[in-house]
C-alpha cells in the first residue's frame, strides 16, 4: 500500500464511521429494533466496489449481511470478520451533541455507536473496499459478517444465523470482532494493547418469592416482599471469592512488569490501581458477580402481594458457572424459586498461535513500543454464538487511545466518541493484520 492508498483508507474510514452513526439503528430490546436501513447501506457500499453481499432478514426489519472475500489460498480455513449494526438508545437531552449527527470536534467523532461498534464496522468496510479497488486478495478467505441485535442478546442476529444459516460459516476456523486491541497506558507511559481472548458467561435469572396475601394493616409473617428483599440484599452484598483464570494471570504479570510492581498471584487486586479507568472493567474479571437489577411486586399500597420477583444479572468466569449458581441457591434458601431468563457460555482461548502472532505483529508495526496482552472481557460478544460452530473468537478492533480518555465509560455512555487518530491507527493495524494472517 502506497502513501496515497493509505491516506484514502484513513479518510474513508472516518467518512464511513460518520455515515454509519447517522443511520440510527437503535435496538430497544424485546425484539424492538431495525437494522434494515443500515444493512442496505452496507450492501450498497460493498456493491460500489464489486463485492456481492447477501442480506438475511430474521424478522421484519432485523437484517444481517454476509459477504465473502476470496483469499489466495483456498485450502486454508476461512476467517470470520464480524461486527454488529445495532446500537443502544441515546437520550439526546443528556448529550452535549446530537447523538446521531456524527459531528467532529476536539479531534473525535461523536455519536452513538462511535465505539460500540460502528468504528470497527467502518474499519472493516474501508479495508475491503481498498482491497477491491487495488485488486488485492488476502491470504485466506474472509467471511465478512454484519449482525443484527447484538445489543439485546443476538436472537435476531448471530444466534439466528448460526441456527438457520450455518452454511455461510462453512470451513471457518477463527473469528475476529469488537472490544480488543485498544491501548491502556500504565506506569511510565507504557502502552499495553488489550487483546480479548476470553469472555465471562451470563446467567440472568428471575427470583420469585411466594407468601400469604393480605391487608397491609395486619401482621403478616409470610410476606413475599420481605422474603424477596432479604434474599436480594444478601446477593447484592455478597463478597465473591477471587478466582483467577489463566488469562487474568498473564495480563497481571504484564501489568506488574510494566509498572515495576510486585506480582502476587494470591491477590491481584493491588495491581488494579495501575490500570486507571480500565480497572472498573478488569476488576469485574477477578470474580463471579451477581447484581440485582429489577424488582416487581404489588399493585396497591395497602395490599400485601402473594408473590414478588427480582431479576439478577449473574456473570461467571470461565470454569466457574456451577459456583455462581450453587452460591445463589445457597444464599436465597429453598423457599425462593429461580427461573433462567438468559444463559450464555463463558469463553477462554490461548494467547498463542499464528492468528495471535499476526495480531501482535500488526500492533507492533504501528507502535513498536506497544505490548500486546490478553484480557478477559466482563461482558460478551457475538463470538459466543459462533463458538457453537467450533469457531474460535477474539476481540481485535485496534485503537490507540489517549491516556486520559475513559474508554470503558464510553460504551453505552453519554457523549460516546472515538478519537480520529485512534481510528486511523486502528484501520492501519487491522489492514496489516488481515493481510498477514
Domain contains 368: no
Domain contains 99: yes
CATH assignment of the domain containing 62: 3.40.630.10
397 within 8 A of 119, measured Cβ to Cβ? yes
pLDDT in tens, 256-301: 999 999 999 999 999 999 999 999 999 999 999 999 999 999 999 9
For residues 347 and 155, what is the distance between their CA atoms, to the nearest angstrom? 19
Whether residue 153 sits in one domain with residue 112: yes
pLDDT at 368: 97
Cβ count within 10 A of residue 346? 20
Whether residue 170 sits in one domain with residue 34: yes
Whether residue 165 sits in one domain with residue 33: yes
Could you tell me the pLDDT band of residue 90, with boundaries at 50, 70 and 90? very high
- Residue 196: name the closest of 356, 425, 371 by CA: 356
Give me the mean pLDDT over the 212-219 stretch: 88
pLDDT at 69: 98
**Parent domain of 268:** 202-344
Whether residue 312 sits in one domain with residue 266: yes
For residues 171 and 178, what is the distance between their CA atoms, to the nearest angstrom? 22
For residues 169 and 145, what is the distance between their CA atoms, to the nearest angstrom? 10
pLDDT at 153: 87
Domain contains 64: yes
pLDDT in tens, 178-203: 999 999 999 989 999 999 999 999 99
Domain contains 362: no
* 251, pLDDT greater than 90: yes
Whether residue 412 sits in one domain with residue 325: no
Whether residue 223 sits in one domain with residue 175: no
CATH assignment of the domain containing 335: 3.30.70.360
pLDDT in tens, 298-342: 999 998 899 999 999 999 999 999 999 999 999 999 889 999 998
Q: Which residue(s) pair with 67 in the sheet?
A: 53, 144
pLDDT at 335: 87
Percentage of the chain lying above the pLDDT 90 cut: 93
Give me the mean pLDDT over the 402-418 stretch: 93
pLDDT in tens, 51-68: 999 999 999 999 999 999
Q: Which of 290, 322, 344 is the last residue of a domain?
A: 344
Give me the mean pLDDT over the 237-241 stretch: 97
Per-position b or e across 272-281, b if 16+ CB within 10 A of its CB: bebbbebbeb
- Residue 18: name the closest of 105, 88, 92 by CA: 105
Give me the mean pLDDT over the 350-374 stretch: 97
Strand pairing class (108-110; 104-105): antiparallel
Domain contains 122: yes
Q: List the grid coordinates of 234.
A: 444478601
Whether residue 163 sits in one domain with residue 60: yes
For residues 36 and 58, what is the distance between their CA atoms, to the nearest angstrom? 11
pTM: 0.93
* 1, pLDDT greater than 90: no
Whether residue 239 sits in one domain with residue 110: no
Whether residue 270 sits in one domain with residue 227: yes
- Residue 420: name the closest of 86, 18, 99 by CA: 18
Residue 294: phi and psi, rounded to 5, are: -150, 145
* 248, pLDDT greater than 90: yes
Given the C-alpha cell 411486586, which residue does it identify?
A: 297
Domain contains 211: yes
Could you tell me the pLDDT band of residue 115, with boundaries at 50, 70 and 90? very high
Whether residue 250 sits in one domain with residue 106: no
Domain contains 7: yes
pLDDT at 294: 95
Nearest 5°: the CA angle 194, 1, 356 is 25
Q: What is the mean pLDDT of the chain?
A: 96
Cβ count within 10 A of residue 93? 6
Say which residue, 121 or 221, is predicted with more confidence. 121
Per the structure, how many domains does the chain have? 2
Whether residue 312 sits in one domain with residue 220: yes
Say which residue, 123 or 342, is predicted with more confidence. 123
Whether residue 99 sits in one domain with residue 145: yes
Amino acid at each position: 500500500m502506497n502513501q496515497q492508498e493509505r491516506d484514502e483508507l484513513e479518510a474513508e474510514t472516518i467518512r464511513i464511521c460518520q455515515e454509519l452513526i447517522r443511520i440510527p439503528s437503535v435496538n430497544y430490546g424485546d425484539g424492538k429494533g431495525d437494522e434494515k436501513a443500515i444493512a442496505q447501506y452496507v450492501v450498497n457500499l460493498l456493491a460500489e466496489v464489486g463485492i456481492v453481499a447477501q442480506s438475511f432478514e430474521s424478522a421484519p426489519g432485523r437484517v444481517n449481511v454476509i459477504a465473502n472475500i476470496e483469499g489466495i489460498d483456498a485450502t486454508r480455513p476461512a476467517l470470520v470478520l464480524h461486527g454488529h449494526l445495532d446500537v443502544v438508545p441515546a437520550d439526546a437531552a443528556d448529550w452535549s451533541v446530537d447523538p446521531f449527527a456524527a459531528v467532529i470536534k476536539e479531534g473525535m467523532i461523536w455519536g452513538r455507536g462511535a465505539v460500540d461498534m460502528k468504528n470497527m464496522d467502518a474499519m472493516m468496510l474501508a479495508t475491503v473496499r481498498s482491497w477491491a479497488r487495488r485488486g488485492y486478495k488476502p491470504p485466506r478467505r474472509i467471511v465478512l459478517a454484519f449482525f443484527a441485535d447484538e445489543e439485546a442478546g443476538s436472537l435476531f442476529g448471530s444466534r439466528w444465523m448460526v441456527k438457520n444459516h450455518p452454511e455461510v460459516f462453512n470451513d471457518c476456523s477463527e473469528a475476529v470482532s469488537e472490544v480488543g486491541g485498544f491501548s491502556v497506558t500504565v506506569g511510565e507511559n507504557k502502552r499495553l494493547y488489550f487483546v480479548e481472548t476470553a469472555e465471562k458467561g451470563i446467567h440472568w435469572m428471575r427470583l420469585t418469592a411466594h407468601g400469604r396475601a393480605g391487608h397491609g394493616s395486619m401482621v403478616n409473617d409470610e410476606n413475599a416482599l420481605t422474603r424477596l428483599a432479604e434474599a436480594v440484599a444478601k446477593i447484592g452484598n455478597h463478597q465473591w471469592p477471587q478466582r483467577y483464570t489463566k488469562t487474568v494471570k498473564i495480563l497481571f504479570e504484564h501489568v506488574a512488569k510494566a509498572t515495576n510492581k510486585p506480582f502476587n498471584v494470591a491477590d491481584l487486586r493491588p495491581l488494579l490501581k495501575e490500570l486507571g479507568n480500565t480497572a472498573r472493567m478488569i476488576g469485574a474479571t477477578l470474580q463471579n458477580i451477581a447484581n440485582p437489577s429489577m424488582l416487581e411486586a404489588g399493585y396497591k399500597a395497602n395490599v400485601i402481594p402473594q408473590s414478588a420477583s427480582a431479576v439478577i444479572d449473574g456473570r461467571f468466569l470461565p470454569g466457574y458457572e456451577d459456583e455462581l449458581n450453587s452460591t445463589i441457591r445457597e444464599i436465597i434458601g429453598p423457599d425462593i424459586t429461580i427461573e433462567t431468563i438468559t444463559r450464555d457460555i463463558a469463553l477462554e482461548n490461548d494467547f498463542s498461535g499464528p492468528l495471535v502472532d499476526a495480531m501482535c505483529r500488526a500492533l507492533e508495526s504501528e507502535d513498536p513500543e506497544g505490548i500486546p496482552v490478553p484480557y478477559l472481557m466482563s461482558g460478551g460478544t457475538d463470538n459466543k454464538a459462533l463458538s457453537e460452530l467450533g469457531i474460535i473468537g477474539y476481540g481485535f478492533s485496534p485503537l490507540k487511545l489517549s491516556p486520559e480518555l475513559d474508554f470503558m465509560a464510553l460504551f453505552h455512555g453519554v457523549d460516546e466518541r472515538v478519537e480520529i487518530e485512534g481510528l486511523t491507527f486502528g484501520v492501519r493495524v487491522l489492514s496489516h493484520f488481515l493481510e498477514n494472517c
